[in-house]
Amino acid sequence: MIVAIDAGNSRIKWGCHDGITWKERGNVPTDEAERLADVAARWPRTARVVACSVAGPAVETAVQNALGLSGLAVQWVRPEPSAHGVRNGYEQPERLGADRWAALVAARHKVAGPCVVVCSGTATTVDWLDGTGSFRGGLILPGMHLMLTALARGTAQLPHARGVFRDEPRNTMDAIVSGCLHAQAGAIERMYAKAATEEPAVICMLTGGAAHRLAPCLGVPCRVEETLVLDGLLQYASAT
């Protein structure tokens, strides 16, 4: 069994893969990483654990300690200049987020052509992977929840909205949610347009907590890949 762990800013996501499919997935809050010990107690002692993190050294240590109680070691995936068919075009390759790197590796494995890879978590990242497997660059912007929270905290009259997306919003709740979704979609579609000027048949892959909310708002070909980061980690574990 391979266990993949994605330690993000808000949640630590994990999945157990039996070589064919993801048999079990779950998550715990990042600030409660010690809860992984109870989860790991159910995993075979022979399980191989591969992980990535953007949550900092303290969280990595907490994850290692939690799994260590069950005798499990963790292989941490770090961004590289080149691996698994992806060339990292970041000016400082090691500074690319490990979750973004894992998502790019998975995208390259799933689609041989060009794609725009969107990770919609606490932050939203929009990364361009061309048809040769070169990561050409990407965007980072606040995620949906951060946008909504910023409006609620920074204004006197705008609440933390629970509206819905509308093309012509006519109430404050819908106007806020629609505005934030338009902002997210605009960033994605602009990066997509840039990629499409160089190569045809670009596909957009979305993953993360807001992926299903974003997908219907996009005017470009897209699909949701719920386990994209975990799939990238699986590629690392399967190749070694």
Active site residue 38: no
- Rounded Cα distance between 20 and 33, Å, is 27
C-alpha to C-alpha distances, 60 to 1, 64, 73, 87, 232, nearest whole angstrom: 21, 6, 12, 26, 18
- Rounded Cα distance between 193 and 103, Å, is 20
Query: What sign has the CA pseudo-torsion 235, 77, 22, 129?
Result: negative
Burial 147-170 (b: 16+ CB within 10 A, else e): bbeebeeeeeebeebebebeeebe
Q: Which residues pair with 224 in a beta bridge?
A: 206
- Rounded Cα distance between 55 and 182, Å, is 28
- Rounded Cα distance between 175 and 37, Å, is 43
Pairing of strands 115-120, 11-17: unpaired
- Rounded Cα distance between 19 and 31, Å, is 30
Of 18, 31, 99, 174, the active-site residue reads 99
Active site members: 99
